[in-house]
Structure 1
Amino acid sequence: MRESTRLPSSLATWVESVLGPLNCVRDASHARDNSQVWRVTGPAGDHYVKVAPKPILYTRETCAYRVAIPHLGHANAPVLRDSSAELLALILTAVDGEPLKEEEAPARRRVSHRQAGQLLRRFHDATTGPLVQPEATRVVENTVAGLDKHLAEAGDHLSSAEADTLRRLVSALPGCGPLPAGWRHGDFWERNLLWNGRRCALIDFERSEPGPLVTDFVKLATSLWPDHPELRTALFEGYGRPLSETEERALTAFAAADAASALAYGPRDGDPLVTARGRRTVECLMQEGRL
């Protein structure tokens, strides 16, 4: 086997039992300690091998491949070739494209976001109704309950006035009432949108689970849309409906909770991008009172 890196032996044995002998293995992990992803090539073509950092992430991703991803359509997401609960591993087909970048031409970037909105709507619609509403309620409760822990961990990165503003906004979440619920992606932003110049595909489903659909817009709303409102417009054109007034209020509340989490996690883990996102969200909420 010609390779630029090696799979762990037990993982290699399992992968080759599914795909046959491998000609090349390349590390495709993200720049974080717990990311384990390889691109492998053999007689069956190009595939990705992914080892989940935790059992819950493996469970979420494999469940998403059973429940929601078939609704996305051909070539709009990887296909799950096989999975191993013992190894917490998945074998996925490779999808054409690269993560969206700011350098993409504005017109094509708008097209990609319109397509992304269409894919997200299909994903959200895969499971809806009363069966997922209790999960949405649980997410709201956990968001409210976890806020003080994040505020304490953020420490000096938040003033007392800023912390009070985040508390006030997040405390409004239960008052929003039942929010539209379904299967949500959980990490929906440009890093997980592959674009080949014509077609958008959705990847990385380890944080997928039922919950309030509006939470899937938080990362774009706090990182991208402030500078590119045209991409928000394009995405909701593809999504097929705007957010309701209630969802807009909930989006602001979830963004406030996300800012507290970002300012707890980012400085602690030395992640300047996460820290900057949290800081910018706080400043926006202090000035505008909403996103």
Structure 2
Amino acid sequence: MRQGITEEQSRLLTSWLGGFSVVKDYSWPLQDTNVLHVATPSGDEFIVKASTTSHHIHREIAAHAGGFEGLHGRIPALRHASADAGILVTEFLPGTLVEGTPAEDDPETYRQAGALLARIHRPAGVSSTYATALTAKTRAWMDRAHGLLPESQLDSFEQALHELRPGVALLVATHGDYQPRNWLQDNGQVKVIDFGRAEPRPWVHDLVRLSHQRFVGRPDLADAFQAGLGKTVAPAETDVWRLENLNQAIGTVVWANQLGDAAFEQTGRTMVERMLSGF
């Protein structure tokens, strides 16, 4: 078994799948997570994710436990899981990652992705504490950003946070990392993978990354996505939308710096600059 898979995880895999071989290794070394595409002698194919430290395994198991009614074949179906052991097995979805292919520039991809997200966003309740907690998390990121960003930017960030009044948050089941690197294209059909960052949040959370990356200079992609999704940010949602943007911008800078990912850190810096310039 691959290095990093524990004896308990290996035992569970054998009990669930019997014999199998590794087709491809998609592991995430920066997040201490093993991700394997495996096949059984009968021809069945699966994705195995295993980690003893990453919280992403638990989030993905919880997301599937909530149910994805009517989306079989469009998202990976969970076949086996053990939160205690930190391992899950999903059915393998055929397709090609959208990122880096012509599909990444095709408005139809975004229309389908928006429509899929609308179905993933099942209601998850109302929270009077979500915004307060996210504000505290954002300030915690800011405390760690000293020396990474100019103090003038951090001062402006604090002022922007102070001005927000997001109030009660309407939560849905968000994906958490909704962008082309987690979309597949299969004979014209878009599929969605990797629910390791899934969590109940306001729906606008899943719009942040796209708005700062793929939608920049491409209003056609933004329009197609919103047509599929069936809604845009309403005036009453403006403050929680800005809060989500501020949190992800500063969090990206600090998290990427911690991992030594210079390119992603620059993405965060650009997000910070866009937020402070009035995005």
Common fold: TM-score over 0.5: yes
Contact 2:59 2:198 in 1 (8 A): yes
Q: CA deviation at 1:244?
A: 0.7
AA at the equivalent of 1:110? P
Percent identity between matched residues is: 24
Are 2:10 and 1:20 equivalent residues in the alignment? no
Pair 1:274-2:264 in alignment = yes
Structure 2: distance between partners of 1:27 and 1:182: 32
Displacement of 1:181 in angstroms is 1.9
1:146: how far off? 2.3
Q: Aligned pair 1:150/2:152, yes or no? A: no
Offset, 1:40: 0.7
Match of 1:91 in 2: 89
Could you say which residue in structure 1 is the equivalent of 2:155?
A: 164
Question: How far apart, in 1, do the equivalents of 2:21 and 2:8 lie?
Answer: 17
Q: Which amino acid aligns with 2:146?
A: G
| Cα drift, residue 55 of structure 1 | 6.9
Q: What is the aligned partner in structure 1 of residue 73 from structure 2?
A: 75
8 Å CA contact 1:118, 1:240 repeated in 2: yes
How has the CA–CA distance of structure 1 residues 24 and 204 changed in structure 2, closer, same or farther, with 3 Å as cutoff?
closer
Aligned 1:30-69 pairs, distance under 5 A: 30-42=28-40, 43-54=42-53, 56-68=55-67
Amino acid in the other structure paired with 1:47: F
Amino acid at match of 2:135: V
Tell me the distance in 2 between the aligned counterparts of 1:247 and 1:253: 10
Give the counterpart letter for 2:117 in structure 1: L
What is the alpha-carbon root mean square deviation over aligned residues? 2.3
Matched residue, 2:275: 285
Call closer, same or farther: CA 1:105–1:98 in 2, change over 3 Å. closer
> Residue 248 of structure 2: SS of its match in structure 1?
helix
Greater helix proportion: 1
Partner of 1:127: 123
**Whole-Å separation in 1 of the counterparts to 2:276 and 2:56:** 34
Q: How does 1:135-214 map to 2 (within 5 A)?
A: 137-173=128-164, 175-214=165-204
The AA in structure 1 aligned to 2:248 is D
Distance of 2:22 and 2:264 partners within structure 1: 34
Unpaired stretches in structure 1, ≥5 consecutive residues = none
1:31 CA displacement = 4.6
The Cα of 1:46 is off from its aligned counterpart by 0.9
With normalisation by structure 1, the TM-score equals 0.85
Structure 2, unpaired ranges of 5+: none
Superposition deviation, residue 143 in structure 1: 1.8
Seen in structure 2, the aligned counterparts of structure 1 residues 222 and 57 have a Cα distance that, compared at 3 Å, is same
* One of 109, 113, 118 as aligned partner of 2:115: 118
- Deviations for 1:64-98, whole angstroms, at most 9, x for unmatched residues? 11214x23512110111111233211011001112
Give the TM-score taking structure 2 as reference length.
0.89
> 2:170, 2:58 → 1: CA distance?
24
Relative distance call for 1:85 and 1:112 in structure 2 (3 A) is same
Q: Does 1:235 align with 2:196?
A: no
1:168 alignment partner, SS class: helix
Residues matched between the structures, number: 277
